A and B are shown apart, each in its own frame.
Chain A
């Protein structure tokens, strides 16, 4: 019983993030599993399919809806450009205290259609992401590591626009 209550206390803030609060923020953090070399995984959710692939140097996560429109989250590792702040390490406790309401997980994301979430609340257009998105490694997050590694992501939308 204690475990269940603790789980609920731990999980609820992540699952019930306020969309309008997220919309008002410049930076949002997404918890996703780091992909190991040559990994490919596909998950089927009610509102979209989720694919993740990695080659050791780059992770890519695709949210693909029923008509093949796609939002891609691209996470290069250890790059020199475009900016030096693409990979940063933070102290978990201090970071979560400050940013807990800005962290979303795949369990949260899968409640929404990808365009509904990303276009209406996370600042994505067909050409540009207007918020800064950092990816937190799910394993490290769940292990409650003392330090968390954050990687800045590129987000892009595919097939949402016509001409």
Chain B
């Protein structure tokens, strides 16, 4: 440990958090990875001024301050429930490293409340405490948390964390750009400009289909059983019991429309489509799900059935 870290460690005022860090190290058998986490956590804790949560940070791809969402309101309880389910995914913690091949950790504070554009489900604002200290504040809309299905909330949390990562690491001050919140369109442009060359020249959309989509899909797949109730699963797997929640095959027309042929619900397909929800306004999205295509038809229909079947 550095001298500063040792001072923090030995300060009785930090006893609670140090105990949590010791427990974490014990649980990980003092692995080199866990020691690295603890060191960076202490540095982040000291510099950020945030009240970072050891347990949630250790299971997340970034250091997390949950103090603003730790109350007993229905939306806070629901948010924490979904977040805990995400933490159970082994890939969630590694998702930024898996998507971006960058293992930097950064700091996030979660909030629930109003967002600038009242239609947006969440927004991520980079806040600068000093010239070198930036953290992201992710705000999720209160009624969105109350009304949305757990899978949709999980997807938005993942997307916002990616957004936060891009806010900090992908806007390069050396190029004269200031750190600022990225709109969704900027997000897509940022991804395209920064990651098109990840494995040599690639078409614009490949980053989302080859990297981001699979990682988000895998996270959601890992925690699928916890995100849906037995009743919700039954609705889509056995729609005939309800004479509803049917997924219809497309007609062989342009555009494809609903036929009366029922096709079985395929969870992997749903989760793939779900991983792109919220990216509809990106040009990259439209390259993946072209207008009048069967892929776009199924994207729409899977999410429509999900909106109805998972709403209660």
Provide the bound-state CA to CA distance between A80 and B241, in Å. Answer: 8
- Chain B contacts for A115, CB-based, 8 A: 119
Scan residues 31-58 of chain A and give those whose CB is less than 8 A from a CB of chain B: 37-38, 40, 53-58
Contact B246 A58 (CB under 8 A): yes
| Contacting residue for A154 out of B235, B243, B281, B308, CB 8 A | B308
- Give the distance to chain B from A103, nearest Cβ to Cβ, in Å: 24
- Give the distance to chain B from A40, nearest Cβ to Cβ, in Å: 5
Contact B304 A128 (CB under 8 A): no
Given contacts A161-B121, A162-B278, A162-B281, contact A79 B244 (CB under 8 A): yes
- Give the distance to chain A from B280, nearest Cβ to Cβ, in Å: 4
Interface flags for B92-134 (1: CB within 8 Å of A; 0: not) read 0000000000000000000000000101111100000000000
- Chain A contacts for B242, CB-based, 8 A: 79-82
Contact A57 B307 (CB under 8 A): no
- Give the distance to chain B from A162, nearest Cβ to Cβ, in Å: 4
- Chain B contacts for A107, CB-based, 8 A: none
Contact A119 B143 (CB under 8 A): no
Given contacts A55-B259, A161-B121, A163-B159, contact A125 B244 (CB under 8 A): no
CB of A137 closer than 8 Å to a CB of B = no
Given contacts A57-B260, A163-B160, A163-B184, contact A126 B246 (CB under 8 A): no
Which stretch, A70-78, A88-96, A139-147, touches the partner chain B? Answer: A70-78
- Chain A contacts for B117, CB-based, 8 A: 162
Provide the bound-state CA to CA distance between A59 and B212, in Å. Answer: 34
- Give the distance to chain B from A65, nearest Cβ to Cβ, in Å: 12
Provide the bound-state CA to CA distance between A80 and B243, in Å. Answer: 6
- Give the distance to chain B from A1, nearest Cβ to Cβ, in Å: 43
- Chain B contacts for A38, CB-based, 8 A: 251, 257, 259-260
Among residues of A, the one whose C-beta sits closest to the C-beta of B162 is A163
Interface flags for B233-246 (1: CB within 8 Å of A; 0: not) read 00100000111101
Most chain B C-beta atoms within 10 Å of own C-beta, residue among A82, A125, A126, A161:
A161
What's the A-B contact tally at a CB cutoff of 8 Å?
Answer: 99
- Give the distance to chain A from B87, nearest Cβ to Cβ, in Å: 20
CB of A108 closer than 8 Å to a CB of B = no
CB of B24 closer than 8 Å to a CB of A = no
Contact B304 A162 (CB under 8 A): no
Provide the bound-state CA to CA distance between A67 and B242, in Å. Answer: 36
Contact B147 A162 (CB under 8 A): no
Among residues of B, the one whose C-beta sits closest to the C-beta of A40 is B257
CB of B83 closer than 8 Å to a CB of A = no
Please count how many residues in chain B sit with their CB below 8 Å of the partner chain's CB atoms.
41
Contact B251 A162 (CB under 8 A): no
Provide the bound-state CA to CA distance between A147 and B274, in Å. Answer: 41
Provide the bound-state CA to CA distance between A158 and B306, in Å. Answer: 13
Among residues of B, the one whose C-beta sits closest to the C-beta of A81 is B242
CB of A66 closer than 8 Å to a CB of B = no
Given contacts A53-B257, A81-B242, A128-B147, contact A74 B121 (CB under 8 A): no
CB of A12 closer than 8 Å to a CB of B = no
Provide the bound-state CA to CA distance between A54 and B278, in Å. Answer: 26
Provide the bound-state CA to CA distance between A128 and B143, in Å. Answer: 9
- Chain B contacts for A68, CB-based, 8 A: 280
Provide the bound-state CA to CA distance between A161 and B303, in Å. Answer: 15
CB of B21 closer than 8 Å to a CB of A = no
CB of A160 closer than 8 Å to a CB of B = yes
Among residues of A, the one whose C-beta sits closest to the C-beta of B231 is A81
- Give the distance to chain A from B42, nearest Cβ to Cβ, in Å: 31
Provide the bound-state CA to CA distance between A56 and B243, in Å. Answer: 13
Contact A55 B258 (CB under 8 A): yes
CB of A156 closer than 8 Å to a CB of B = yes
| Contacting residue for B243 out of A78, A126, A159, CB 8 A | A78
- Give the distance to chain A from B121, nearest Cβ to Cβ, in Å: 5
Q: Which residues of A contact B (CB under 8 A)?
A: 37-38, 40, 53-58, 60, 67-68, 72, 74, 76, 78-82, 115, 119, 125-128, 154, 156, 158-163
4 closest A-B pairs by CB: A79-B244, A162-B184, A159-B280, A128-B147
30 A-B pairs (CB sep. < 8 Å): A38-B259, A40-B257, A54-B258, A55-B258, A55-B260, A56-B260, A57-B248, A57-B260, A58-B248, A58-B258, A74-B304, A78-B243, A80-B242, A80-B243, A80-B244, A81-B242, A81-B243, A82-B242, A82-B312, A125-B119, A125-B144, A126-B119, A127-B147, A154-B308, A156-B304, A156-B307, A161-B119, A161-B121, A162-B117, A163-B160
